[in-house]
Structure 1
Amino acid sequence: MFRHRVWVLCVLVISATCGEELNNKTFPGYFIFGTATASYQVEGAWNEDGKGQNIWDNFTHEDPSRIVGNANGDIACDSYHKYKEDVALLKDLGVDHYRFSISWSRVLPTGYSNEVNKAGVNYYKNLIKELNDNDIFPLVTMFHWDTPQPLEDIGGWTNDTIVDRFVEYAQFLFETFGDDVQMWLTFNEPKQTCNGGYGNGILAPGIQSPGVGEYLCTHNVIKAHAAVWHLYDEKYRRRQNGHLGITLDCFFGEPDSDSQEDKDAAERMLQFNYGWYANAIVNGNYPKVMRNVIARRSAAQGLSKSRLPDFTSKEIQFIKGSFDFLGLNYYTVNMVKARGSEVPVVSSWEKDMEVDIYLKEEWPKSSSSWLRIVPWGMRKMLNWMKKTYGDDTEIFITENGVSDDGSSLDDQIRIDYYQQHISGVRDALDDGVNVIGYTAWSLMDNFEWIRGYSECFGLYQVNFTDADRPRTPKRSVEFLKKVMTTRCVTDVCEDY
């Protein structure tokens, strides 16, 4: 995809922190580096210039105690007013691309395409122009968790009419921004939207309908994604010459033992996570193991039909192959053990998986309880994707990063994490995995959903007690600046 771009890129030395070898080979010329943010997490200006309300506005305002510190994204990093400063940081960092999302409710306040907010459109036009003027490639996410509230009021992603609304929204984006954007992501981590939003309810919109809601949501997300891909392929690709994919989150699942039961459990965990969406988009249907397990468990509950919806034969053919590349948001490893297939009293996606997961105590900790630092998982995850979805499938790492508490600019933990994980990406390239890019999460500290501002992933520290929201570089900026400029994670590199 990017082989027309020419870069001089770099990456066996021993890591001083973990004892793992670092790959010192240069990256191939098409490989690109960048960083990322998302609209609700950084923009602020939640009710300015005609923006409509979205589910995270409602979720945080309706019950502030849902968020650590009663925080919200009303102001966040104030990137709505500081986008030129943000682009200057990106330029100084030396990125090839910047991944950001468009707020659906900022450009279409009600979620419907017949009401356009010109001020919101101008904001993104100005941001995209600023990026292109500085030779930074815009990688644009259409949906990063922030459904317009009027659409949520009629069922959101569990109401199948949202498929048409999303296609109309996507067409508006292609018409408005597509000549200046060559790479699109339809959805960011839809598993979190669907399971967190409609399953266990810990994320916006906070609907608790486990074992049903998350599957209805996913069914509509997949249909919406496929429809948008076909729309772009048939109407816009030839003129705009872009590419469109989806990005999915997954931890690597490592079997607890060499037993076949645990090996099967680890594979099942990966299929219930990444495969839930990817298998449908690549092959046309949910993973066979998901269909079989959920059907069996549904029958054990006395249900006449599986809780996992079926695609029609026509839908299977329509969905199959509806991608140009697969995005991966990767952070850590889970150990996986098989769990017995008990008759479920209360169903959920987590229980349907029939696994137990845990983190090894000896793995280094971050400031996020779920995130331990396990660099070898990156290479394994990428190789699993190659094995599962084919040698030719292009993979774009759209998030990778580690949290601290944000109190210090001396973030050696982040330097080590990036160095080890980028080395793992280079190892995967040696293994023949078709990885085309790497994106560090995130450009700056921001609103981290239900964790508020208590966990910080940024390369730049943001002072959230200062009305001006000043950005200050952490030590990791200099490290990644060197990586992105020289294309090396070590001082001495071997030619590709």
Structure 2
Amino acid sequence: MALSSVFFISILISYYSVKSYGEELNTKKFPKDFMFGAATASYQVEGAWNEDGKGENNWDHITHLVPSPILNNDTGDIACDSYHKYKEDVSLLKELGVDFYRFSLSWSRILPSGFDNEVNQLGVEYYRNLIKELRAHNITPVVTIFHWDLPQTIQDLGGLQNDFFIDRYVDFARVCFREFGEEVKYWITFNEPSSICYLGYGRGWLMGLASSPGIGEYLCDHNLLRAHAKAWRMYDDEFRKSQNGVVGISISGDWIEPSTDSSADLEASETLLQFTFGLYIHPIVHGDYPEVVRTNVDKRSVLQGFSQSRLPRFTQEEVQLIRGTSDFIGINMYTTSLVTPRGSDNISDISFEADTGVTSWKPEEWENSGSSWLKVYPKGARQLLKWLGSNYKGVKLIITENGYSDNNGTLEDDKRISYYQRYLSNIRDAMEFDGVDLFGYTAWSLLDNFEWISGYSQKFGLYQVDFNSPNRTRTAKKSAKWYSKLTRTKCIVDDCTE
């Protein structure tokens, strides 16, 4: 880039900016057709865990274990009671002025046994009513087919580590497309594969609480990608022409910042980005795993005495099956990690972390949230989008989650507003100055809700929920009022420029 161009852009950034928490904000409006939304997930908000024919899922099973692995013995048995209060939730969305609502379908509510031989019509009716209510208020439904709640019958058979999962998932997806596809035009196959596979089957924190580090996550990854691709192809073959929808997937991860500008740290950053995002996006775009992922796992597997790589291989037929199977990619972004190469390599260490060859951390001095894993680093949003736009040119992106937690659900949540402002400013920069093709943004979350193994201790909601009240009373936080202004003005501050 010419020096004059750099100077001109710096003048623009200065002109179109104000400060929040000492950081410059881009005050240009988002494009008129840019969509703003809010999100939840079925187990985190619905409750009604054993009502109207719903079957048991993995979270029903986990939260009822004795002793409970969930903080404070919390469960999602009632959660926000959105199963009974969906009309009230839609009225909150209308109040926010959002263009869309991203929510997920409970597999075990629709197919109680996990299999498609029995469809629970009461479960189907619940989602039909929710979709009808959204459309009556001109809110577009964006539907996630799988957001971590798996029928326990399928988890008992190994869950996503078993090839058996693939066709069972496709069966479920077909039921979803058939029952809701006339009214739903945006579909997401899986939410956060890395959380499902790495945290679920590698670390044993989610799914079935069984850990198989360095093996289980790769089996899960391999099956998830094949299930995603088969579902996308099935939609393309059987439903797209009549329903005219689009199907994508949501990938999550930190921006990976090199701890210094040394070549070693830059390489470590690129490696971990490929293990985090490339592990999923690269096969979908190009048909196979990134070279550095394949090389690292293959090499370490041989040195560890395995007869074949711990990372399974796609057949040539599967490469063709998977390549090109996404109409858009969703990105869940919250925070950033610093990285540097690992020191001496312990070859006996069979784990995802060892395969990356990278050490990551979050500096103590970075701004905290209510979640230990979420440190505030707004610049990471632009850097991540820029990296994605550069590595996957032509791929349409949407931010399907971004948000900030506290531990008390305060109504005066200025820190959440500042977080949103600073992240959205960097997102706007990525669109304006880096040419990133981004068509929407989703706030996580509409409501304070059940945050998995952390129970109700972490509050992400734009609306406070009183979990001590039988009515699960919702109250707008200051951030909800701010977000409602954003959705109407496309502007993160009071006075925007065009």
TM-score, length-normalised on structure 1?
Answer: 0.96
Q: What is the CA-CA distance between 1:341 and the residue it aligns to?
A: 5.9
Deviations 1:125-183 (A, max 9, x none): 00000000000000000000011011111111111111111111111111100000000
The secondary structure found in structure 2 opposite 1:279 is: helix
Counting only pairs closer than 5 Å after superposition, residues 450-469 of structure 1 correspond to structure 2 as 450-469=453-472
Q: What is the CA-CA distance between 1:112 and the residue it aligns to?
A: 0.6
Q: Distance in 2 between matches of 1:172 and 1:101?
A: 14
Give the corresponding residue for 2:4: none
Q: Is residue 373 from structure 1 mapped to residue 380 from structure 2 by the alignment?
A: no
Mapped contact 1:330–1:399 kept (Cα < 8 A): yes
| RMSD between aligned residues | 1.2
Give the corresponding residue for 2:242: 239
Q: Distance in 2 between matches of 1:245 and 1:323?
A: 5
Q: Is residue 313 from structure 1 mapped to residue 316 from structure 2 by the alignment?
A: yes
Give the corresponding residue for 2:17: 13
Counting only pairs closer than 5 Å after superposition, residues 47-66 of structure 1 correspond to structure 2 as 47-66=50-69
1:127 and 1:30, CA in 2 relative to 1: closer, same or farther beyond 3 A?
same
Give the corresponding residue for 1:156: 159
Give the corresponding residue for 2:135: 132
Q: Is residue 479 from structure 1 mapped to residue 482 from structure 2 by the alignment?
A: yes
Q: What is the CA-CA distance between 1:346 and the residue it aligns to?
A: 3.3
Q: Is residue 202 from structure 1 mapped to residue 205 from structure 2 by the alignment?
A: yes
Give the corresponding residue for 2:113: 110
Q: Distance in 2 between matches of 1:63 and 1:214?
A: 26
Q: What is the CA-CA distance between 1:108 and the residue it aligns to?
A: 0.3
**Pick aligned residue for 1:427 from 410, 426, 429:** 429
Instruction: Tell me the amino acid that sits aligned with residue 395 of structure 2.
Output: T
Q: What is the CA-CA distance between 1:407 and the residue it aligns to?
A: 4.2
Q: Distance in 2 between matches of 1:16 and 1:140?
A: 34
Instruction: Tell me the amino acid that sits aligned with residue 486 of structure 1.
Output: T
Per mean C-alpha deviation after superposition, the further-off stretch among 62-71 and 393-402 is: 62-71
Mapped contact 2:369–2:406 kept (Cα < 8 A): yes
Deviations 1:436-478 (A, max 9, x none): 1000000010000011000100000101111110001110011
Q: Runs in 1 of length 4+ with deviation above 3 angstroms? A: none
Counting only pairs closer than 5 Å after superposition, residues 83-98 of structure 1 correspond to structure 2 as 83-98=86-101
Instruction: Tell me the amino acid that sits aligned with residue 115 of structure 1.
Output: E
**Pick aligned residue for 2:448 from 424, 445, 451:** 445
Give the corresponding residue for 1:7: none
Q: Distance in 1 between matches of 2:466 and 2:280?
A: 37
Q: Is residue 27 from structure 1 mapped to residue 30 from structure 2 by the alignment?
A: yes
Give the corresponding residue for 1:395: 397
Q: Is residue 44 from structure 1 mapped to residue 47 from structure 2 by the alignment?
A: yes
Mapped contact 2:18–2:27 kept (Cα < 8 A): no
Q: Distance in 1 between matches of 2:158 and 2:68?
A: 24
Q: Distance in 1 between matches of 2:466 and 2:90?
A: 18
Give the corresponding residue for 1:142: 145
Mapped contact 2:202–2:214 kept (Cα < 8 A): yes
Query: How many pairs were matched up?
Result: 483
The secondary structure found in structure 2 opposite 1:295 is: helix
Q: Distance in 1 between matches of 2:492 and 2:66?
A: 44
Instruction: Tell me the amino acid that sits aligned with residue 272 of structure 1.
Output: F
The secondary structure found in structure 1 opposite 2:380 is: helix
Q: What is the CA-CA distance between 1:370 and the residue it aligns to?
A: 0.8
Give the corresponding residue for 1:358: 361
Give the corresponding residue for 2:336: 333
Q: Distance in 2 between matches of 1:77 and 1:193?
A: 23
Give the corresponding residue for 1:413: 415
Q: What is the CA-CA distance between 1:77 and the residue it aligns to?
A: 0.3
Give the corresponding residue for 2:351: 348
Q: What is the CA-CA distance between 1:12 and the residue it aligns to?
A: 2.5
Instruction: Tell me the amino acid that sits aligned with residue 247 of structure 1.
Output: S
Per mean C-alpha deviation after superposition, the further-off stretch among 404-413 and 217-226 is: 404-413
Q: Distance in 1 between matches of 2:409 and 2:230?
A: 45
Q: Distance in 2 between matches of 1:410 and 1:228?
A: 43
TM-score, length-normalised on structure 2?
Answer: 0.95
Mapped contact 1:300–1:343 kept (Cα < 8 A): no
Deviations 1:3-29 (A, max 9, x none): xxxxxxxx9332231x22211222223
The secondary structure found in structure 1 opposite 2:367 is: coil
Q: Distance in 2 between matches of 1:341 and 1:90?
A: 52
The secondary structure found in structure 2 opposite 1:179 is: coil
Q: What is the CA-CA distance between 1:303 and the residue it aligns to?
A: 1.3
Q: Distance in 2 between matches of 1:123 and 1:313?
A: 41
Mapped contact 1:333–1:372 kept (Cα < 8 A): yes
The secondary structure found in structure 1 opposite 2:249 is: strand
Q: Distance in 2 between matches of 1:350 and 1:446?
A: 30
The secondary structure found in structure 1 opposite 2:187 is: strand
Q: Distance in 2 between matches of 1:341 and 1:31?
A: 48
The secondary structure found in structure 1 opposite 2:398 is: strand
Mapped contact 2:32–2:490 kept (Cα < 8 A): no
> Structure 1 regions of 5+ residues with no counterpart?
1-10
Q: Distance in 2 between matches of 1:25 and 1:235?
A: 42
